[in-house]
Every structure is written in structure tokens, then in C-alpha cells.
Amino acid sequence: MAQATDYSLANQSGSAFRTELNSILAAIQTLNSGSTAPSNLVADQVWIDRSTTPATLKIRNASNDGFITLGTVSTNFGLVSASGATFTGDITLNAQADVRFADSDSSNYIALQAPATVASNVTFTLPSADGTANQALKTDASGNLGFASFLLATETSNGQVVTGGVRGAITTLTDAATIAVDMDANNNFKVTLAGDRTLGNPTNVVEGQTGFIEVHQDGSGGRTLAYSANYRFVGGTPPTVNSTANAVSVLGYAVMADEKIMITSHLDVKAQS
């Protein structure tokens, strides 16, 4: 490494001239390498700063009042190699840019990208090991991903065959003069009557849906339940729910065509006596 006090060759004897010229050439040859900046700086002057490990390549800015750091003097100046690289810090792809994984001949790729709008920063942490066959990734709602087993359905020529129990939750309906039933919410429902009520025509009805509606009397009892026009009954006679205080009646239903809901009933569901 070498530096020169200046790059101006003064008139002098041959020996002194040669010594100064060699000093200047050595400085140029080593890019002014040294632990401190060279003297007599000019714009665009290059300097290898040996005060850092590894050394840093710098260039004087156009205003000649500071240096611009180009990179460390190591393999490829610390820049990413086209043949592969290891990053030691975060990588940000702006403006929804992709990470692309090309196939064997690089003719097509699979890409991952951020959504168009992200309300706040999210970090997903991958699991530390592979899961077992047929497991899927899940999140713990804190960004930590892991593998878990889920109920799998195997398609057959007749529909779906499910191994393991399938359980439908029960949605509590809001008691009102006309009780609203949203069949998108669930298959099974329950309601406690606090007065004479009408079971309203369900919304989001799809042919083939089945389930039940538990009808509970409150502590006073004596409550009646009428039915809106879309319900159908065996023999055309609507069931009369048990009116005893705290009694439970269960109405089974099946959705037929044209939003017609067939009702069957169990009017006194209780423990054996």
C-alpha cells in the first residue's frame, strides 16, 4: 500500500525525480491505500481505506468534501454474485416485486409476492422441520407457522368420504317477534322463547341443507311458535312446540327446492324418566 503527498512533479535532479515519480506511481497502483485518507484530495479520487476490516473502497464525491463508499475490498466487493450469494441482512423487494423460482430449463417460474396493500408489517416464521404426510401449514396468529393435521375428505364417485367425526356447532338465534335464521351461519341452531314467536323465513337458503333447531321455553313457559310461509310439514300440519317451562322441542329441517323447508319435530326432548 502507498500514498503520495501530491501528484505534481517538480523540476528536480534525475534521482529525486525518479523517487517522486515512483512514489506517485505506487500510490496510483495501490489506489492510495492507507489507514487514513491521502492528502491533496481531488474530486473522483479513489482510496482504499485500510482502517476497516476488510478494507473499504471509496471514491471522492464531486464536491470534494467527502467520500462515497463503494464496498468492501473482498470477493466481488460484497456484491451479489449471479451464481449465488449469502445475505446477512434483510432483503426488501419494493412495489410488489416477485421472488421467482424457475423450473429446470428456466422457461417458467412460480412467484411469491406481497398483496397490493399491507396495513402493517407482518413477519411469517417458517417451521424448523418438515411435517408428516398430508399435514398443512397453520399460523398461531402471531406469525409463527407450523404443520398440523386437518380433517381430510377423499373424493369418490358418490361424493365425499370423511374419516373421523364431523361436528357442527350450534348457533344461538336472537329471540324476537319474528326469529331470523341465516342458513349461511350454520346448520344447527337454538333459541329460547321469551314470548309468542314466529320462526321467520330463512335467508341464504340452499337446496339440500339439513340440520335442526332447538326451541327452548324460558322459565315461565307457555310460549307459542308459529311458522312463516316457506316451511312445509308432514300432512300440512305444523307442530306445536312443548309449552312447559324450560321444555325443549327439536325441529329437524331439510331444504327442498324453491326455498321450501320441510320440518319434522320432536316435541318433548328430555332425560329418561
pLDDT by residue, tens only, the chain of 273 residues: 688 887 888 888 889 889 888 888 888 888 999 999 998 899 999 999 999 998 999 999 999 999 999 888 877 766 777 777 788 888 899 999 999 999 999 999 999 999 999 999 999 999 999 999 889 999 999 999 999 987 665 555 666 677 777 788 999 999 999 999 999 999 999 999 999 999 999 999 999 999 999 999 999 999 999 999 999 999 999 999 999 999 999 999 999 977 799 999 999 898 888
User: 167 and 188 in contact (C-beta within 8 Å)?
Assistant: no
pLDDT at site 220: 97
**Taking the domains of the chain in order of start, what are their residue ranges?**
14-77, 124-166, 170-266
Name the class of domain 170-266: mainly beta
pLDDT at site 151: 64
Cell of 86: 449469502
Q: How far apart are CA 125 and CA 209, in angstroms?
A: 40
DSSP 57: E
Q: How far apart are CA 217 and CA 197, in angstroms?
A: 11
What residues contact residue 205 under an 8 Å CB cut-off, 6+ apart?
183, 230, 255, 259, 261
Sheet holding 178-179, edge to edge: 178-179, 197-199, 225-227
DSSP 174: P
Specify which residues 144 forms β-bridges with. 125
181 CB-contact burial (10 Å; exposed 0-12 / middle 13-18 / buried 19+): buried
pLDDT at site 6: 79
241 CB-contact burial (10 Å; exposed 0-12 / middle 13-18 / buried 19+): buried
User: 163 and 185 in contact (C-beta within 8 Å)?
Assistant: no
77: left (phi over 0), alpha (psi -120 to 50) or beta: left
pLDDT at site 24: 83
Cell of 130: 418438515
